[in-house]
Amino acid sequence: MKVINNADVSRLVTQEEVTRALESAYQDFFNGTAVCRPRVDVEIPSSSPDRFYRWGTMEGGSAGKYFAIRCKSDMIYHKTQGSSVTQEKYCVEPGTFCGFILLFSVENGEPLALINDGVIQHMRVAADGAIGVKHASREDSSVIGLLGSGGMAKDHLRSVVQVRDIQRVQVFSPTKENREVFAEKMSMELGIDVVPVDAPADAVRNVDIIMGLTDSAIPVIKPEYVEPGHHLLNVGGGGGIPPEVQALVSKFLRFGNTDSPVGWSDTSFDDEHLTWQARSGFTERAMASKGRAHGVFGDDRLIYLSQVLDEGQFPRHPADVTYSERGNLQGNQFHAVAGLLYEKAIDAGFGTEIPTELFLQDIRN
C-alpha cells in the first residue's frame, strides 16, 4: 500500500490531467458504470462554545477500476472581520488539517493507497470550475472578475485559462496585501494581466466571468454585479448564490445528482451534502449558518451536463447569464483522481510503501 503526500501529488499530476480525469469519471457516471453518494457530515459539539467537531466523508467508485473514500476531521468555528464572516477549520491546532483519501481495488478489495487530500482537493474543485466554464460561458470570454485570492482562486485561474483565452483578471479580497501578492504571482505564472482592485464592484466591472472563490459564510456574488452575458461560478461564498442572483440566471448547468439508494427510488438526494448533528449542545455562537445545503434549483432553466455531452453543445445565447455547479457528485471524483495518482506513483516510484498485511486480518468482518 502506498502513502502519497501532497508534495508527491504536486509532482505527479497536472491540472489538465485532473480535469480530463473528472470529465471521464462523469461520463462513467452518466453511463451507469460509476456510482457515488453525497458528502455526509457528522457534527458534534465541543467543550468550547464557539466551535464544534465535524467528520466529513464522500465516496464512490467505477466498474473495473477503483473505489475511494475521502475523509476529513475538522474543528469548525467562524470569524468576523468587518462585514465578512468566514468559516475557519483546523485539526489539532490552527494551521494544521487532517484530510485523506483511501483507495481500494474493486477487483479484489485490496487497499492500495492513502493520499493526502490537500493539493488534489484544490485541483479537483478547480477542474469542476473549468468544465463549467468550458461548456457554459461564452467562447469569446476573456476577462474574469475574481472575488477571493486564496488557494482556490489560484487553482481555478490555472484551470480556467486552459479552456478560455483569458487576457485579464480583476481580483478583490478584503486584505489589500493578499490581493496584491496574488496579482503579482499569478501575472508572472500565467503570463496574463492580473490586477488587484479596492472593491468587489471594481472586480466585476466589464468582465465576462465572475468567480466567487472564498471561505465567506455569506454570499459574495450580489445581484447588482450581474450583467447579460456573464458566466457565474461560486465556491464557498455562503454555500451558493442567493435567490436574488438565481433569479437573474438564464440557464443553470448542473453536472448531476447522486442516484437514490437501492430500495429508496422514490426519494431523491440532490442536496450538496447531508448532515447528521448531535441533538444538543450546539450554540448560536458556533453555528453561524445552518439549514439545508441547497439542492437542485433553476426550474425550467436547468440543464444537466449529461444533456450537454449528448447534444454536443450548451444551448446558450450571447445575452444569457449562466451558472455552473457540480451538484452532489463529489464522491465520483476521488476514485478517478486517486486512481490516476496511484498509477503515476507506481510508474515513478513515488510514495512510501507500507505493508498491505497491516490492513488485512483472518477474522471475518
Q: Could you tell me the residue range of the domain that residue 318 belongs to? A: 128-257+296-328
User: What pLDDT, on the 0 to 100 scale, is given for residue 241?
Assistant: 81
Tell whether 253 is covered by a domain.
Answer: yes
- The total domain count for the chain is 2
- Indicate if 341 and 321 belong to the same structural domain: no
Helix (H, G, I), strand (E, B) or coil at 98: strand
**The domain that contains 317 carries what CATH number?**
3.40.50.720
- Indicate if 154 and 214 belong to the same structural domain: yes
- Indicate if 82 and 148 belong to the same structural domain: no
Helix (H, G, I), strand (E, B) or coil at 168: strand
- Indicate if 85 and 137 belong to the same structural domain: no
Tell whether 305 is covered by a domain.
Answer: yes
Q: Tell me the CB-side half-sphere exposure of residue 82, using CA atoms within 13 A.
A: 5
Tell whether 285 is covered by a domain.
Answer: no
To the question of pTM greater than 0.75 for the whole model, the response is yes
- Indicate if 80 and 148 belong to the same structural domain: no
Tell whether 53 is covered by a domain.
Answer: yes
Helix axes 15-31, 151-160, angle to 10 degrees: 80
User: What pLDDT, on the 0 to 100 scale, is given for residue 21?
Assistant: 96
Report CA Rg, the chain: 20
- Indicate if 32 and 147 belong to the same structural domain: no
Pairing mode, if any, of strands 51-62 and 39-45?
Answer: antiparallel
- Indicate if 78 and 154 belong to the same structural domain: no
- Indicate if 246 and 99 belong to the same structural domain: no
Tell whether 82 is covered by a domain.
Answer: yes
Tell whether 138 is covered by a domain.
Answer: yes
Distance CA 18, CA 356 (A): 27
pLDDT of the chain, 365 residues: tens digit per residue: 999 999 999 999 999 999 999 999 999 999 999 999 989 999 999 999 889 999 999 999 999 999 999 999 999 998 877 767 778 999 999 999 999 999 999 999 999 999 999 999 999 999 999 999 999 999 999 999 999 999 999 999 999 999 999 999 999 999 999 999 999 999 999 999 999 999 999 999 999 999 999 877 778 999 999 999 999 999 876 567 888 999 999 999 999 999 888 998 887 777 778 889 998 877 766 665 555 555 666 688 999 999 999 998 899 999 999 999 988 899 999 999 999 999 999 999 999 999 999 999 999 98
